[in-house]
């Protein structure tokens, strides 16, 4: 077990709830936001983009981010054929959606059910609250645009303590129910948790030779469910391999083992994709080139051209941004700095980031299974990066042994010359990994007792 300080008990804080119908006026001072049930909200679909739908319901509507709503379409008003009395609109239930974000004048949502067909732009709709999810009010009053340099960002939410000593975290709909799940990997197990933090499925490696190092979740085979890719150090065969795990009927089973590592990275377009790299732990050749991961004819395979850059050797802790049409590599250095490689020259952060306790020494070379480096792409190129910093116990001496007492989440903004610190989130234990949502970040935090909690932050 890692030596980390015990952090305080974690509590969910429930966000204010606006009970409103078509009245979108602000709440009056002193109005009880928690009393009564929320009335349905009527509005229109502005547009759909893939699996994201935009509504004309903004922040004054009282729509709750991350909560689940029953979505219905509203047809023409029905009238009594004899009396002419209005019977209300023709309401047709469509399914459930999760609210992704609520902006000043609009909101976004995605299906909470796989079979839901999103309504077209111009459709009149009704949203009725189905499942309220906790979002602390502090997050609503601290927009990212208002952060000052070096500001401390509060958490959106914290999960209860989960019985696993995490080494990494990923997110994805692993059972195809339309709701995003959180996947945690420990050294000997992988577990998937639902939005209510109840265990959905779990896999335990009972062999004596394996040790999980990282985890990814993505629907690569296109069946509507995210596969779980758990990278393991197989000491018996002296290689790194990836277990492809499936979650169904409350069980997690291994489908196949791939003879290479699988890790996500930003490809320069603003998207996160899965890459692969073979590593021969016992041979003379350390690692192969990095390729994209694909699926064809019922098999996983390396696809496309290799990911080329003369400074890129290891699949963990790197990504690309664009400078004009040219890709620019951003990665963690061997001294735990964030380094940006331009066409002519490079730049490094003076501070250290991306520290990890997950390491493997291969022929006197240390391979570090660094947390993801999340790159924010702007209209003109690099906008910033989100990164973790684990702080060594007993000053810097303990870093060589992977002993960390606490951690921080950092957002660094690119100002054209350097990455400047904008805000940080203080974490109460060791930060095992970071995962990305469109509007938020999830961090797996390990306490001194070996249990873990997932902390979320707004971007």
d(CA 228, CA 192): 9
pLDDT of residue 221: 94
Residue 197, C-beta contacts closer than 8 angstroms, at least 6 positions apart: 159, 160, 162, 182
Q: What backbone phi and psi angles, to 5 degrees, belong to 397?
A: -60, -35
Q: CA–CA distance from 310 to each of 91, 154, 385 (Å)?
A: 60, 39, 22
Residue 272, C-beta contacts closer than 8 angstroms, at least 6 positions apart: 264, 265, 266, 436
List pLDDT tens digits, range 77-135: 778 788 877 777 789 999 988 888 888 889 988 887 656 788 989 999 999 998 886 55
**Residue 409: closest CA among 170, 154, 66:** 154
Whether the full predicted model's pTM is greater than 0.85, yes or no, is no
Q: If residue 124 lies in a helix (H) or strand (E), which one and from where to where?
A: strand 124-131
List pLDDT tens digits, range 214-234: 999 999 999 999 999 999 998
Q: What backbone phi and psi angles, to 5 degrees, belong to 138?
A: -60, -35
pLDDT of residue 148: 54
pLDDT of residue 147: 56
pLDDT of residue 361: 80
For the chain, how long is the longest CA-to-CA vector? 89
Q: What backbone phi and psi angles, to 5 degrees, belong to 395?
A: 65, -155
**Residue 266: closest CA among 231, 229, 292, 232:** 292
Which segments in the chain show pLDDT lower than 50? Answer: 1-37, 136-145, 397-398, 401
| CATH numbers and ranges of domains, the chain | 41-131 (2.40.30), 151-458 (2.130.10)
């Amino acid at each position: 077990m890692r030596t980390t300080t015990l952090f305080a008990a974690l509590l969910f804080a429930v966000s204010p709830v606006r009970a409103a119908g078509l009245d979108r006026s602000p709440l009056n001072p002193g109005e009880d936001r928690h009393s009564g049930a929320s009335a349905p909200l009527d509005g229109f679909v502005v547009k759909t983009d893939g699996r994201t739908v935009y509504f004309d319901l903004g922040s004054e509507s009282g729509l709750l981010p991350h909560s689940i709503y029953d979505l219905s379409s509203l047809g023409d008003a029905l009238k009594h054929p004899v009396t002419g009395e209005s019977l209300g609109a023709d309401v047709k239930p469509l399914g459930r959606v999760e609210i992704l974000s609520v902006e000043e004048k609009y909101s976004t949502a995605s299906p909470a059910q796989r079979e839901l067909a999103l309504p077209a732009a111009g459709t009149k709709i009704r949203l009725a609250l189905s499942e309220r999810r906790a979002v602390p009010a502090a997050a609503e009053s601290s927009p990212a645009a208002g952060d000052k340099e070096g500001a401390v960002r509060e958490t959106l939410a914290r999960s209860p303590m989960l019985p696993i000593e995490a080494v990494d975290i990923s997110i994805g709909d692993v059972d195809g129910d339309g709701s995003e799940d959180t996947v945690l990997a420990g050294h000997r197990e992988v577990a998937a948790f639902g939005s209510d933090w109840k265990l959905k499925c779990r896999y335990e490696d009972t062999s004596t030779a394996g040790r999980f190092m990282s985890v990814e979740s993505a629907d690569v085979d296109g069946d509507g469910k995210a596969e779980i890719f758990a990278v393991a150090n197989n000491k018996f065969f002296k290689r790194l391999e990836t277990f492809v795990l499936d979650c169904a009927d409350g069980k997690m089973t291994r489908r196949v083992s791939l003879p290479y590592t699988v890790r996500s990275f930003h490809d320069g377009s603003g998207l996160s994709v899965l890459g692969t790299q073979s590593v021969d732990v016992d041979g003379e050749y350390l690692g192969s080139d990095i390729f994209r991961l694909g699926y064809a004819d019922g098999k996983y395979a390396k696809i496309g051209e290799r990911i080329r850059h003369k400074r890129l050797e290891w699949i963990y802790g790197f990504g690309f941004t664009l400078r004009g049409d040219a890709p620019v590599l951003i990665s963690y250095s061997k001294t735990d700095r964030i380094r940006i490689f331009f066409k002519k020259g490079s730049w490094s952060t003076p501070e250290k980031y991306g520290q990890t306790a997950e390491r493997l020494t291969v022929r006197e070379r240390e391979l570090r299974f660094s947390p993801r480096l999340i790159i924010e792409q702007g209209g003109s190129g690099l906008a910033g990066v989100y990164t973790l910093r684990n702080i060594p116990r007993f000053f810097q001496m303990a870093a060589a042994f992977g002993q960390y007492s606490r951690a921080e989440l950092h957002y660094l903004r690119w100002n054209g010359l350097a990455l400047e610190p904008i805000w940080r989130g203080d974490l109460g234990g060791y930060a095992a990994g970071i995962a990305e949502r469109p509007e938020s970040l999830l961090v797996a935090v390990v306490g001194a007792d070996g249990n873990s909690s997932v902390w979320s932050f707004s971007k």
